[in-house]
Chains A and B, each alone.
Chain A
Amino acid sequence: MSSQEALFTYTLRLADDLLILSHRLSEWCGHGPILEEDIALTNRALDHIGEARNLYTHAGQVEGKGRTEDDLAYLRAERQFVNTKLVEQPNGDYAHTIVRSFLFDAYHLPLAEALTKSSDAQIAAIAAKAVKEAQYHLRHSSDWLIRFGDGTAESQRRAQEALEALWTFTGDLFADDDVQAAMVKAGIAPDLSKVKAAFDVTVDKVLAEATLKRPADGFMATGGRQGKHSEHLGFVLAEMQYLQRAYPGAEW
């Protein structure tokens, strides 16, 4: 794999996580538990999609085959998506949605902070813009997780169940491989063990305040970065890509 291909794949990984999570959050639009949360989640979805768009555009330029952000978002098949399995998991109840975002935010913020020092100027600039958004996302998801955990018996039970159900998918966030190693070597990406250390600090602090138990690391699901997904991603893409597949080249 050339260094250009590695950078292309790495940029796609960053972008795909954000696009798929954004789509999941957008599914709450009009269905939020209260008006204020409905808007909060769609705000987040828009933040994620904004960052994803910049990354897709950059990925298309790195690849140099003339693919646009839309081509990369709408015209790739399931096995060509390299997002983590975490972000494609269904919304479930509100505890699942919050826990999924919290686990992602606890990873995304230190990653974005580190990427501001990336040797790839475009990735560094995109990350610099994303950091402030990521700070707010983490605060929002942390606050809710603490309210659930430290709330009623039922809210705590649901939050703990969501944690247990989603924990295995955090394996994907920190899975190392040749692409990741090449990016670290080129000074483009941070060492994932450093991001993991920051993730652990955040998770332990918030879970302690939420009086929730950190699940043990058992079998940790990986494979998303290689395009091996859970059964859910195909349904996400079917809905997301329908219009471009049915009416190729359609524009707003």
Chain B
Amino acid sequence: MSNNPNNWPLWEVFIQSKRGLDHKHVGSLHAADAQMAIENARDVYTRRQEGQSIWVVPAGAISASQPEDAAMLFDPADDKTYRHPTFYVMPEGAKYI
């Protein structure tokens, strides 16, 4: 479907649910330009008070790692537990570290 030349370009949509939180990827949609993409994202992805800010990014502008590289990229971290700050004693009363 996305190969059909009659379709508008694909955009990836990121919504920020609350001020201070990060924008999260919520899905994609078609739109002729950025302005239309924002309006479409408003209608498709924020109908139930999901957000207070919208980012749209042309899907083609995103570079992704290749699934077949996953082992090479991510497996070496498996046995590096010392990279996690798990050997510290938690101060009493600290909820979030």
Let me know if B43 and A40 touch, CB within 8 A: yes
From A34, A35, A143, B39 is in contact (CB under 8 Å) with A143
For the complex formed, measure the closest distance between the CB of B6 and the CB atoms of chain A, giving whole angstroms.
11
Let me know if A36 and B43 touch, CB within 8 A: yes
Distance in angstroms between the alpha carbons of A39 and B36 in the assembled complex:
14
Let me know if A39 and B35 touch, CB within 8 A: no
Quick check: is A147 within 8 A (CB to CB) of the other chain? Answer: yes
Given contacts A140-B39, A143-B35, contact A36 B29 (CB under 8 A): yes
Quick check: is B40 within 8 A (CB to CB) of the other chain? Answer: yes
Q: Mark B1-28, 1 if CB is under 8 A from A, else 0.
A: 0000000100000000000000000000
Given contacts A34-B30, A147-B32, contact A40 B47 (CB under 8 A): no
Quick check: is B31 within 8 A (CB to CB) of the other chain? Answer: yes
Most B CB contacts (10 A, CB to CB) among A36, A39, A43 go to: A36
Q: Mark B42-61, 1 if CB is under 8 A from A, else 0.
A: 11100100000000000000
Q: Point out the residues of chain B lying under 8 angstroms from A147, CB to CB.
A: 32
Distance in angstroms between the alpha carbons of A43 and B47 in the assembled complex:
8
Let me know if B35 and A40 touch, CB within 8 A: no
Interface size class of B (residues with CB under 8 A): 10 to 19
Distance in angstroms between the alpha carbons of A50 and B8 in the assembled complex:
32
From B30, B31, B44, A39 is in contact (CB under 8 Å) with B44
* A interface residues, tally (CB under 8 Å): 12
Q: Point out the residues of chain A lying under 8 angstroms from B31, CB to CB.
A: 36
Q: Mark A33-48, 1 if CB is under 8 A from B, else 0.
A: 0111101100100000
For the complex formed, measure the closest distance between the CB of A134 and the CB atoms of chain B, giving whole angstroms.
15
Q: Point out the residues of chain B lying under 8 angstroms from A40, CB to CB.
A: 39-40, 43
Let me know if A36 and B47 touch, CB within 8 A: no
Let me know if A143 and B44 touch, CB within 8 A: no
Distance in angstroms between the alpha carbons of A21 and B44 in the assembled complex:
21
Q: Point out the residues of chain B lying under 8 angstroms from A36, CB to CB.
A: 29-31, 40, 43-44
Distance in angstroms between the alpha carbons of A140 and B43 in the assembled complex:
10
Distance in angstroms between the alpha carbons of A143 and B33 in the assembled complex:
12
- A-B contact list, 19 entries, CB within 8 Å: A34-B8, A34-B30, A35-B29, A35-B30, A36-B29, A36-B30, A36-B31, A36-B40, A36-B43, A39-B43, A39-B47, A40-B39, A40-B40, A43-B43, A43-B47, A136-B42, A139-B39, A143-B35, A143-B36
B interface with A by C-beta (< 8 Å): 8, 29-32, 35-36, 39-40, 42-44, 47
Q: Sort A-B residue pairs by CB-CB distance and give the 3 closest, nearest first.
A: A36-B40, A40-B43, A39-B43
